[in-house]
């Protein structure tokens, strides 16, 4: 049976910014958050969205709308998510495969699901070099700028009042910290396309939070330094940017010890941060040691986010190992999510429950 979403969760979501400024005890009469105090799924286990609510931490899942018809998948999203994001159906190749012809069918299905189930809806993504139809790269500069602005305007206006935050620009920086030369937007429009994209999105929906989103930002190094420099410049010039998404596509056992410091420096710019696409790939078939390492890494991501006041959520890039993108892209690796291929919880799920249950340091 789908799990009804308590109205308290919706209220908590609406009050997120306020709640962050208050001590936990002041905003709830509920028992201490923690695995044992949480409502249960089918009477047997903790519910992530519930135990995260007291910490004003969004628990998100990337969702493929057609999989919501699969009962086990559906039950997990119904039960554990306070936020959903489209894994693919809001990308340019889906929504505007042919210039000026719009297809929001899949995205509208997800938006309706979010509305009817009291989940926040996160928008992914407006401007990205990948999953981009070929016609865009073929345009000259004035036509590409007009097409990009029109794409942003149409999509943001379509979901106005539903999508509370957008990944406006995705993966604009290469691994070495240079601008991604292989992006048609970079190649044809130059650096300025990024601020143009943010300004256009802001005009289309002044209430939406606007984020820059990228992978391999976890450690302080050439790539995260370049993103830090870029967003610092945007902030300094009053470009409407609100947040940075740390995708968090991790390999087990590789997290360094500077994650919190790194998140904090972005928050110190006046931005919020969140983990937007977390998975932890391990060799397949997984052994117990790798599963334990993976659990530790998931726990670290969640507890580090909770340790940073401006870190507002953790989104997992999928529900079950059955459908993860990882094995196709990293042969020999996979098993990267919280539920295995048969929808059994993994040690990583228990680690996330424990980290979420511990709450924000100093607020218990």
Shortest Cβ 66–ligand 9MR spacing (Å): 12
Nearest to ligand 9MR of 20, 217 (CB atom) = 217
Q: What does the alpha-carbon distance between residue 62 and residue 277 come to, in Å, rounded to a whole number?
A: 8
Q: What does the alpha-carbon distance between residue 228 and residue 230 come to, in Å, rounded to a whole number?
A: 5
Shortest Cβ 320–ligand 9MR spacing (Å): 13
Query: Any catalytic annotation for residue 277?
Result: yes
> Residue with structure tokens 């060799």?
283
Q: Which residues of 76-111 are buried (b: 16+ CB within 10 A; e: fewer)?
A: bbbbbbbbbbbbbbbbbebbbeeeeeeebebbebbb
**Contacting residues toward ligand 9MR, per CB under 6 A:** 87-88, 130-131, 170, 215, 247, 277, 325
Where do runs of H (alpha helix) occur along the chain? 7-14, 16-20, 48-53, 71-80, 92-95, 105-117, 134-137, 141-158, 184-189, 193-204, 222-236, 259-267, 288-307, 326-329, 347-358
In this structure, what token pair is assigned to residue 271? 């931005």
Q: What does the alpha-carbon distance between residue 273 and residue 242 come to, in Å, rounded to a whole number?
A: 9
Shortest Cβ 76–ligand 9MR spacing (Å): 17
Shortest Cβ 169–ligand 9MR spacing (Å): 12
Nearest to ligand 9MR of 170, 186 (CB atom) = 170
Q: Helix or strand or coil: residue 282?
A: strand
Nearest residue to ligand 9MR by CB is 325
Nearest to ligand 9MR of 91, 202 (CB atom) = 91
Annotated active-site residue in 50, 149, 277, 354: 277
Nearest to ligand 9MR of 277, 321 (CB atom) = 277
Nearest to ligand 9MR of 215, 333 (CB atom) = 215
Q: What does the alpha-carbon distance between residue 29 and residue 25 come to, in Å, rounded to a whole number?
A: 7
Q: Which phi and psi (to 5°) does residue 72 adopt? A: -65, -45
Nearest to ligand 9MR of 102, 325 (CB atom) = 325
Q: Within a 10 A sphere around the Cβ of 280, how many other Cβ atoms?
A: 30
Shortest Cβ 358–ligand 9MR spacing (Å): 28
Nearest to ligand 9MR of 130, 287 (CB atom) = 130
Query: Any catalytic annotation for residue 96?
Result: no
Shortest Cβ 302–ligand 9MR spacing (Å): 19
Shortest Cβ 331–ligand 9MR spacing (Å): 14
Cα torsion 315, 50, 55, 64 to 10°: value is 10
Are 30 and 99 in contact by the 8 Å Cβ rule? The answer is no
Question: How buried is residue 302: exposed, middle or buried, by Cβ count under 10 Å (0-12/13-18/19+)?
Answer: buried
CA dihedral sign, ordered 157, 162, 165, 170: negative
Annotated active-site residue in 50, 171, 195, 218: 171
* Catalytic site positions: 171, 277
């Amino acid at each position: 049976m789908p799990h009804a979403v308590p109205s308290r969760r919706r209220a908590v979501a609406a009050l997120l910014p306020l709640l962050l400024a208050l001590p936990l005890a002041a905003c709830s009469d509920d028992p201490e958050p923690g695995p044992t105090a949480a409502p249960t799924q089918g009477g047997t286990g903790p519910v992530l969205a519930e135990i995260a609510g007291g910490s004003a931490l969004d628990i998100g899942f990337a969702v493929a709308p057609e999989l919501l018809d699969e009962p086990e998948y559906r039950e997990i999203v119904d039960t554990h998510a306070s936020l959903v994001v489209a894994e693919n159906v809001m990308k340019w190749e889906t929504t505007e495969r042919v210039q000026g012809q719009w297809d929001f069918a899949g995205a509208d299905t997800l938006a309706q699901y979010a509305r009817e189930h009291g989940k926040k809806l996160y928008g992914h993504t407006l401007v990205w070099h990948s999953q981009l139809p070929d016609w865009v790269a073929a345009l000259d500069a004035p036509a590409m700028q007009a097409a990009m602005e029109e794409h942003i305007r149409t999509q943001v206006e379509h979901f106005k009042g539903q999508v509370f935050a957008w990944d406006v620009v995705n993966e604009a920086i290469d691994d070495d910290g240079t601008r991604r030369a292989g992006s048609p937007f970079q190649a044809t429009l130059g650096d300025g396309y990024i601020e143009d994209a943010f300004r256009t999105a802001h005009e289309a929906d002044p209430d939406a939070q606007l984020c820059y989103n990228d992978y391999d930002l976890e450690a302080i190094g050439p790539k995260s330094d370049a993103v830090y420099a870029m967003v610092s410049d945007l902030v300094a010039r009053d470009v409407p940017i609100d947040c940075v998404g740390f995708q968090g596509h991790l390999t087990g056992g590789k997290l360094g010890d500077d994650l919190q410091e790194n998140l904090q420096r972005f928050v110190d710019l006046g931005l919020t941060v969140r983990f937007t696409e977390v998975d932890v790939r391990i060799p397949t078939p997984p052994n117990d040691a790798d599963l334990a390492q993976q659990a530790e890494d998931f726990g670290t991501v969640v507890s580090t986010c909770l340790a940073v006041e401006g870190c507002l959520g953790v989104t997992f890039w999928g529900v079950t190992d059955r459908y993860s993108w990882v094995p196709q892209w990293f042969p020999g690796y996979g098993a990267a999510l919280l539920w295995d291929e048969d929808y059994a919880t993994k040690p990583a799920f228990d680690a996330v429950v424990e980290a979420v249950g511990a709450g924000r340091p100093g607020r218990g």
